[in-house]
């Protein structure tokens, strides 16, 4: 099957989990089996607990305490399998997506967690992928958003990448994750509530205003705008929006798909140049919930770093963690100017 230019092949790992290859080009043989003979994981189920004080859900995932933690490169579970080192992925690959063996959301009625490997090259990073490969990753994200959203248990599909040990990444191989939540996350619920109350899309307004002003703009194409938000919460934060009022990844059109890779690579390279050090970052796709309030949502990719200087990190301390009030030490216009200069 071909999805947005990528070729998709579904196989099963030896313990029954799904593995999906997305190839840059058609014609690759994906018959290589998982030779590990894994028993299905007897997972202590995750628990979803409702906090009555905030009307929010918390995931209790006690079994994850034992998950793989910063293995040496030779033991990487995300590299392609080779003689003497069998991994989660039986063969060489372009992009591979599989169900997490240590999922935060572990049962069908609780949603699902997937791992997205961007490249077989352990030492690469997203910013060193080719535009062609970013197109394949985008096709994988799109396919998974649509597929997971078809499950009646799923209310919201969250596609993201955590990069860097400074933000808690436990595997160095370039990869992202997908959480299919069985509820609408608080930040999406808040944005939907605010937009509904205002009766208009505030993202559309922000895109138009930032494009006109230009002071916080970092990069743009005909169909995308990337800017530091006026009220940025993080020292380096870029919000990448399709200009069109698009709810989620499956709704992107061909031009938007074609223009995204170069734009995103440009933003990520600026992140790595702006302080002259490899930046930790979180890249988080905000997508419309699967069913409720879709018309009020506007797709965006938020990329933000907790590094505020070469030798200093931003911590979420009392004001942020307990009160939800962010204190940002870098003026957004200055962050934008620094990112624009980091060409």
Considering the rule CB under 8 A, would residue 54 count as an interface residue with a copy of itself?
yes
Considering the rule CB under 8 A, would residue 59 count as an interface residue with a copy of itself?
yes
Considering the rule CB under 8 A, would residue 331 count as an interface residue with a copy of itself?
yes
Among 24, 30, 266, 326, binds a copy of itself (CB under 8 A): 326
Among 24, 38, 45, 57, binds a copy of itself (CB under 8 A): 57
Among 314, 336, 338, 339, binds a copy of itself (CB under 8 A): 314
| Residue 42 or 53 having the CB closest to a copy of itself | 53
Q: How far is the CB of 1 from a copy of itself (least distance, A)?
A: 28
Among 96, 104, 147, 265, binds a copy of itself (CB under 8 A): 104
Site for a copy of itself in 284-313 (CB under 8 A): 284, 286, 302, 304, 308-309, 312-313
The distance of Cα 227 from the centroid of its chain, to the nearest Å, equals 18
Q: How far is the CB of 229 from a copy of itself (least distance, A)?
A: 7
CB contact burial 315-328 (16+ within 10 A = b; e otherwise) = eeeeeeeeeeeeeb
For the record, the structure tokens of 338 come out as 């620094």
From the list 8-16, 85-93, 137-145, 224-232, the region that binds a copy of itself by CB under 8 A is 224-232
- Those residues with Cβ within 8 angstroms of residue 151's Cβ, 6 or more apart along the chain or in another chain: 108, 112, 180
Considering the rule CB under 8 A, would residue 152 count as an interface residue with a copy of itself?
no
Question: Among the options 173, 175, 203, 241, which is catalytic?
Answer: 175
Site for a copy of itself in 24-53 (CB under 8 A): 47, 49-53
For the record, the structure tokens of 45 come out as 């189920």
Handedness of CA 46, 122, 148, 91 (dihedral sign): negative
Among 205, 214, 215, 295, binds a copy of itself (CB under 8 A): 205
Interatomic CA distance for residues 216 and 123, integer angstroms: 32
| Residue 85 or 200 having the CB closest to a copy of itself | 200
Among 332, 336, 338, 339, binds a copy of itself (CB under 8 A): 332
- Helix axis angle for 254-274 and 332-341, nearest 10°, is 100
Considering the rule CB under 8 A, would residue 225 count as an interface residue with a copy of itself?
no
Considering the rule CB under 8 A, would residue 187 count as an interface residue with a copy of itself?
yes
Handedness of CA 122, 126, 130, 132 (dihedral sign): positive
Q: How far are the Cα atoms of 105, 125, 156, 289, 328 from residue 285, in angstroms, in the given order?
A: 18, 18, 11, 12, 22
Interatomic CA distance for residues 12 and 289, integer angstroms: 28
Among 19, 188, 228, 246, binds a copy of itself (CB under 8 A): 188
For the record, the structure tokens of 341 come out as 């200069």
From the list 1-9, 30-38, 127-135, 174-182, the region that binds a copy of itself by CB under 8 A is 174-182
Told to judge if 245 belongs to the known catalytic residues of this protein, a careful annotator would answer: no
Q: How far is the CB of 35 from a copy of itself (least distance, A)?
A: 31
**What are the phi and psi torsion angles at 294 (to 5°)?**
-65, -35
Site for a copy of itself in 227-256 (CB under 8 A): 229-233
- Those residues with Cβ within 8 angstroms of residue 175's Cβ, 6 or more apart along the chain or in another chain: 78, 115, 116, 117, 118, 161
Nearest C-alpha neighbor of 198 from the set 296, 129, 279, 107: 296
Question: Which residues are designated catalytic?
Answer: 175
């Amino acid at each position: 099957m071909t999805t947005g230019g990528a070729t998709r092949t579904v196989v099963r790992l030896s313990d029954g989990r799904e593995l999906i290859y997305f190839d840059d080009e058609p014609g690759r043989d994906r018959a290589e089996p998982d030779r590990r003979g894994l028993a299905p994981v007897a997972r202590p189920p995750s628990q979803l607990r409702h906090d009555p004080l905030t009307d929010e859900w918390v995931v209790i995932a006690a079994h994850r305490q034992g998950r793989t933690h910063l293995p040496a490169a030779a033991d990487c579970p995300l590299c392609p399998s080779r003689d003497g080192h069998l991994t989660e992925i039986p063969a060489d690959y372009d992009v591979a997506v599989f169900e997490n063996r240590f999922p935060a959301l572990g049962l069908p009625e609780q949603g699902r967690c997937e791992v997205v490997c961007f490249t077989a090259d352990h030492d690469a990073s997203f910013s060193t992928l080719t535009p062609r490969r970013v197109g394949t990753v985008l096709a994988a994200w799109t396919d998974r958003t649509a597929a997971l959203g078809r499950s009646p248990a799923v209310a919201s599909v969250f596609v993201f990448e955590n990069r860097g040990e400074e933000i808690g990444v436990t595997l160095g191989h370039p990869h992202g994750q997908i959480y299919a939540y069985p509820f609408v996350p608080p930040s999406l619920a808040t944005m939907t509530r605010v937009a509904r109350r205002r009766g208009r899309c505030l993202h559309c307004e922000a895109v138009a205003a930032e494009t006109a002003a230009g002071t916080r703009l970092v990069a743009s194409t005909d169909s995308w705008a990337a800017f530091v938000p006026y009220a940025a919460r993080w020292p380096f934060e870029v919000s990448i929006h399709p200009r069109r009022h698009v709810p989620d990844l499956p709704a992107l059109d061909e031009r938007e798909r074609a223009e995204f890779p170069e734009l995103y690579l440009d933003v990520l390279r600026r992140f790595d140049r702006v302080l002259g050090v490899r930046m930790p970052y979180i890249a988080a796709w905000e997508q419309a919930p699967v069913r409720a309030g879709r018309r009020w949502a506007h797709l965006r990719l938020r990329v933000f770093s907790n590094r505020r200087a070469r030798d200093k990190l931003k911590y979420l301390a009392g004001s942020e963690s307990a009160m939800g009030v962010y204190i940002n030490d870098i003026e957004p216009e200055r962050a934008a100017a620094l990112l624009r200069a980091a060409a």
